[in-house]
Amino acid sequence: MLMKELPKSSSVASSALHLLHRAGQRADELFAVQVGQSDLTPRQFVVLKAVQASDEPSQTALVEKTGIDRSTLADIVRRLVAKGLLSRKRTRQDARMYAVKLTDRGAAAIKAAEPAARATDERLLSTLTANQRETFVEALKRVIEALEAPQGRR
């Protein structure tokens, strides 16, 4: 679905909120096309990668690593466990907390999806020069960091 050209003066055409939402939609669509039949979403892929980079992290640690809110992350983990990509168990330190571990099937899913993730990033950034790409990614990081900072720390 293509967004029609809007007049430059349109508030929608210059709304960061709308443009970020549209960019996110396109990114999700591109990833889905690239990843094919695996039925893995971009956020599921990020969670799998975060688990892979950690030693049996708690779901709370995954919230901190990914920036995904607690209830959404719990749902993602539940789905990944149901798919056999993660295993989950209560931690010894706190019986209310879950630790998650990548299964062999989860490791294979990451390996299969990594080319799709790289191709999606490349396609998303393909209209920008190398300098613009770096600036764009750094600007997104600054926006996220500033908005996630506690009040007064900005």
Task: Locate all alpha helices (DSSP H) within 7-126, ordered by sequence.
Answer: 16-35, 42-52, 59-66, 70-82, 104-125
Q: pLDDT digit string (tens) for 102-142?
A: 999 999 999 999 999 999 999 999 999 999 999 999 999 99
- Phi-psi label, residue 149: left if phi above 0, alpha if psi -120 to 50, beta otherwise: beta
Q: pLDDT digit string (tens) for 34-87?
A: 888 778 999 999 999 999 999 889 998 999 999 999 999 999 999 999 999 999
47: Cβ–Cβ under 8 A, 6 or more apart, which residues?
62, 66, 68, 73, 76, 77, 80
| pTM of the predicted protein model | 0.81
* Per-residue pLDDT band at 96 (split at 50, 70, 90): confident
* Per-residue pLDDT band at 154 (split at 50, 70, 90): very low
pLDDT higher than 70, residue 5: no
Cα 100 off chain centre by: 18
The pLDDT of residue 152: 47
* Per-residue pLDDT band at 92 (split at 50, 70, 90): confident
Domains and CATH numbers, the chain: 17-148 (1.10.10.10)
